[in-house]
Structure 1
């Protein structure tokens, strides 16, 4: 009997040591630095507000990785629209996700198997897809790695409040994705509040990813001019300030020449164009709640209106 007790004691000690070692290894892992908002969700198991996450409506091809440790978690091919307000997946990358029953026993939490980062919850048998599985994930727990596509290019436009600028570009033919942020200033990682103080030098800017097989830079420039007042010199509509000025940020001489071509056309039509042309600089993405703002809100811009100008 003593031998059995001793044997069980040795096994228990081995399990305890292994658990302690795994915990120590996890604590010693080097993780990405998180913002307070990211820590609230990823470490303290909070939840971001529905329809505010960066990836809720993301339909691009690529891989979603853990924001804390960069472990691949989900493939875009497994993402589907559940209309729940958060990104939804019906499958995960093998061994990437760990399921943990909530303390109340009502739901099942999903965490990153590598670092334990809180991702969200998993729900079964809802009928959304044939796999009968829905991983309901916080966007803030993820990072997205875009699948390389040589046909995809990026363009950057500022035409007042970036909510309105993005509204028209995200609906345009050939546009795969949009994001709003700041460009042209002298402060790194500016917040919306900092830019609103009007002393960082940034303009509210929209990043446009477009498929060159479906649309062209010419098309985007025409849409840019046809959706705002490019003659206004102090802002856009009721939004007054240096962050609301009209500007095209060009990546190369070809884009600059195209922009200059349309400015010349407008001047020949009698317009006094206030739009600036500036070389591309660092694009600092704005906070998640600014992304696809009007789509989430279900309304339309108050200071951007489409007006056909070009033939």
Structure 2
């Protein structure tokens, strides 16, 4: 088995079971889409969708990739150590009963014990690619939740697009003063699902005829829109709108040019999965 040569600092944590100082690790406040792997052997350990902000000072996950983690009780019998199941490298400790997420588990992991492989890097290593599409259709919680279930979708991220303020907060967007729409970024494998399929699904999980809101959520930040990357996406979007209008729908969805996407606060990511609730203003209705 081939292992990566570790630096003295990495050896101190991974081999000698040390702990990096809190709030210093590179992945503590890091929430990109991809997979976290073992620094020593490269084995996949955690998915980004299972990472959450615990504010404890170290990266926290409430689930693991199946079979990736080995647990051992510390010598003092008080804490449970977590190690890479493949190479035995020390990762950190696991805690239960804190009620920080519905899964009620926190893997507290040293950043120095891990590497990160982005979704784009994963696709490239398999000879493929990941594309991004952007949809706004009311509260991003429901749009994210339902689009995430489409086969070929790698990840859906809630955020803000279309405004004039850089890196806005949820409170600023809700004040209706920034011009942003609650928008989702969809990372997808174009070999498994097309932009047109995603756009059709988008029109079927929200009401594209409602202006200035969605369901009970009223306000310009909840408007319906597709932000397109190129003329091809614009053509597909306008074709689908024309099809719906031919069916008698007065479509309010706007087709807008790409603008900077700002990731929303972590509280909003995978909201329905983390809370166990169900969408209150989004549901599927076949339109095509």
Structure 2-normalised TM-score? 0.67
1:13-52 matches, cutoff 5 A: 42=23
**Would the alpha carbon gap of residues 188 and 268 (structure 1) be closer, same or farther in structure 2, given more than 3 Å must change?**
same
Partner of 1:77: 44
Q: State whether structure 2 residue 107 is matched by structure 1 residue 136.
A: yes
State whether residues 63 and 73 of structure 1, in contact with CA within 8 Å, keep that contact through their aligned partners in structure 2.
no
**Would the alpha carbon gap of residues 135 and 85 (structure 1) be closer, same or farther in structure 2, given more than 3 Å must change?**
closer
Offset, 1:286: 0.5
Partner of 2:150: 172
**Would the alpha carbon gap of residues 107 and 283 (structure 1) be closer, same or farther in structure 2, given more than 3 Å must change?**
same
Q: Distance in 1 between matches of 2:111 and 2:286?
A: 38
1:100-111 matches, cutoff 5 A: 106-107=78-79
RMSD (CA atoms)? 4.0
Partner of 1:126: none
Structure 1-normalised TM-score? 0.62
CA offsets, 1:243-274, max 9 Å, x none? 10000000000000000000000111111110
2:259 to 258, 270, 281: 281
**Would the alpha carbon gap of residues 202 and 306 (structure 1) be closer, same or farther in structure 2, given more than 3 Å must change?**
same
Q: Distance in 2 between matches of 1:273 and 1:139?
A: 50
**Would the alpha carbon gap of residues 76 and 217 (structure 1) be closer, same or farther in structure 2, given more than 3 Å must change?**
farther
Select the structure of larger CA radius of gyration. Answer: 1
Partner of 1:260: 238
What is the DSSP-based 3-state SS (H/G/I as helix, E as strand, rest coil) of the residue aligned with 1:307? coil
2:93 to 105, 108, 122: 122
State whether residues 156 and 249 of structure 1, in contact with CA within 8 Å, keep that contact through their aligned partners in structure 2.
yes
Q: Distance in 2 between matches of 1:247 and 1:262?
A: 13
State whether residues 61 and 108 of structure 2, in contact with CA within 8 Å, keep that contact through their aligned partners in structure 1.
no
Q: Distance in 1 between matches of 2:92 and 2:156?
A: 28
**Would the alpha carbon gap of residues 148 and 272 (structure 1) be closer, same or farther in structure 2, given more than 3 Å must change?**
same
Partner of 2:182: 204
Offset, 1:173: 1.3
What is the DSSP-based 3-state SS (H/G/I as helix, E as strand, rest coil) of the residue aligned with 1:163? helix
Offset, 1:145: 4.0
Partner of 2:140: 162
| Ranges in structure 2 where 5+ consecutive residues have no aligned partner | 1-7, 9-20, 52-59, 83-89, 95-104
Q: Distance in 2 between matches of 1:191 and 1:42?
A: 22
CA offsets, 1:76-115, max 9 Å, x none? 62338999962547479xxxxxxxx9xx9844889xxxxx
State whether residues 208 and 252 of structure 2, in contact with CA within 8 Å, keep that contact through their aligned partners in structure 1.
yes
Partner of 2:62: 86
**Matched residue count:** 230
Q: Distance in 2 between matches of 1:259 and 1:176?
A: 21
Runs of 4+ residues over 6 Å off in structure 1: 80-84, 138-143
